[in-house]
Structure 1
Amino acid sequence: MLSEDLIKATRPMVQFDGLSLDVLDTDAQATFWRAALGGGTLRPEGPGRARIDKIPRRPDAEILRLRQMRSLPPDGARVHVDLRLPEKEPHALVDAGARVVRDPGAEPWYVLADPEGNEFCAYPAADERPAGIFELVVKCEQPRDLARWWSEVLGGRLEHEGEAVSVTGAPEFPWDYMVFDPVTDPRPVRNRLHWHVTLRDETPKDLIAHGARLISGPDVDEDGWLLEDPEGNRFHALRTG
């Protein structure tokens, strides 16, 4: 039998378990994001909460939870997704309720906003790679340090491209990259979009010892804890099962 020390050395602290988006109108946002993600099963998860998962031909951990809030902070897109379009132009997403914030130019992708103003990047179809989300982007002040922190938490390896640093190859991470992109301004408000992880252990003590900050929990509804990483990005840590 493997020792606990060996297990901890060869297995990540957590597994990635999808995204969570704060919304004002759960039903409307569920309709839009099911269209944007290419379908999936919509599951109620209590008052004002829903979950989209089991998206056809997509990884199991491609999950989007929607949590109704009374008010939302301004959206600075500090955390957002990048996706590939099935076509050259985003007509289907615009028809579903997206707004074009910026057309391709020097940067060859669209910036779109969902019906509540949450921005994301949409890349025109250019080859045989499938449509859908391919990376999660986190804008931060110290991308090298934060990417290293998350690679130690999730597993995977680091790739450098200019000043940006990505984590790739993390077990159970559903997309190609988790990108840490440099910005110079500190985070003004909480992110509307954040993510969930499933703990390997019964509590997040290892995460806290590693530098995460406990915000609240354990929460009966979520069966887990709300934490922040070293740059203040909030994430939910859930018990296994």
Structure 2
Amino acid sequence: MTIARFKDLCVDVGSPSEMAAFWGRALGLTTPTDNPNVLVGDVPEKTVWMCKVPEPKTVKNRVHLDVVTGAVEDLERMGAAVHTPASEEQRWTVLTDPEGGEFCGFVRETVPAYRLMELIVDSADPEAQARWWAGVVGGDVNSRPGRPYRWLENVPGMPFKYWVFVPVPEPKTVKNRVHWDVTASALQPVLDAGATLLRPKDDEIGWHVCADPEGNEFCVFLPPEAS
């Protein structure tokens, strides 16, 4: 039995309108007429919020998106820049968005309307991270023999196929510029599972800000009667 459900994604940005325009094209999402700073799809879980923050990007994104594209040049025309080209050893291209945030482009012959393929999280212990999040939001933990990364799939409500945890040597040093939100019937089970409460709901925000065991921020939304 899970204690929370995947809700949506959030991206910290300096210019919400510019970044919404870019990511809308890159992901195949649209902006509603009443809010140009959010992207929406055919289900609520595909929502991506552009959250304006004062601080600029200073380190490599510890959380990033992998997207499907027909050609890397298509992403460049949208405003992306190539950081590391694909090679025989690396089947994907590392790019940066208009504000320098890293993401990866996977070239495919068939490109779906919704182009977010997976969410990638840098981790000190991918096995522990994958199993912790499986305990919170459900899904199956999978691996490949001899490969150090782990991934979740079949997560209820998650609108992309894979949630991948990859090993990195560097520790987390700053707030993630990409994070996810969850809904839950109560906050305490999330905390009992091992999350840390960073900021409780208050007069300024209508959600609780938490961190997972490796410090990755996520927000917990509760029903009104439980808030």
TM-score, with length taken from structure 1: 0.85
Which of 41, 55, 61 pairs up with 1:54? 41
Match status 1:67 vs 2:51? yes
Alignment match, 1:215: 198
1:175, 1:39 → 2: CA distance?
A: 13
The answer for unaligned runs of 5 or more in structure 1 is 1-9
CA drift at 1:50: 2.4
Alignment match, 1:16: 6
Question: Which is richer in strand?
Answer: 1
Alignment match, 1:152: 135
* CA gap 1:216/1:131 in 2 versus in 1, 3 angstroms: closer
What does the per-residue CA deviation read over 1:9-49, in whole Å, with 9 as the maximum and x for residues that have no partner? x3x1111111111110111111111111113233666xxx8
Asked whether the 8 Å contact 1:43–1:52 carries over to 2, the reply is: no
CA drift at 1:78: 1.2
Match status 1:82 vs 2:66? yes
2:190, 2:81 → 1: CA distance?
A: 38
SS of corresponding position for 1:61: helix
Letter in 1 for 2:66: D
Letter in 2 for 1:182: P
What does the per-residue CA deviation read over 1:47-106, in whole Å, with 9 as the maximum and x for residues that have no partner? xx8221125xxx541111011111124141210011111x1x222221121111111112
Match status 1:39 vs 2:19? no
Asked whether the 8 Å contact 1:75–1:117 carries over to 2, the reply is: no
1:143, 1:199 → 2: CA distance?
A: 24
2:114, 2:141 → 1: CA distance?
A: 24
Match status 1:187 vs 2:172? yes
CA drift at 1:210: 0.9
Letter in 2 for 1:197: V
2:33, 2:195 → 1: CA distance?
A: 30
Which of 30, 46, 55 pairs up with 2:20? 30
Alignment match, 1:101: 83
SS of corresponding position for 2:23: helix
Letter in 2 for 1:61: E
1:110, 1:170 → 2: CA distance?
A: 26
SS of corresponding position for 1:94: helix
- Say what the alpha-carbon RMSD is for the aligned residues: 1.9
CA drift at 1:126: 4.0
SS of corresponding position for 1:226: strand
Alignment match, 1:206: 189
Letter in 1 for 2:77: D
How do residues 119-130 of structure 1 correspond to structure 2 at under 5 angstroms?
Answer: 119-126=102-109
SS of corresponding position for 1:146: helix
2:59, 2:49 → 1: CA distance?
A: 18
* Deviating more after overlay: 23-32 vs 213-222: 213-222
2:18, 2:111 → 1: CA distance?
A: 31
2:211, 2:117 → 1: CA distance?
A: 24
CA drift at 1:130: 6.4
2:72, 2:99 → 1: CA distance?
A: 17
Letter in 2 for 1:153: V
Asked whether the 8 Å contact 2:31–2:37 carries over to 1, the reply is: no
* CA gap 1:130/1:35 in 2 versus in 1, 3 angstroms: closer
Alignment match, 1:92: 74
Report the count of equivalent residues: 221
Asked whether the 8 Å contact 2:5–2:157 carries over to 1, the reply is: yes
TM-score, with length taken from structure 2: 0.90
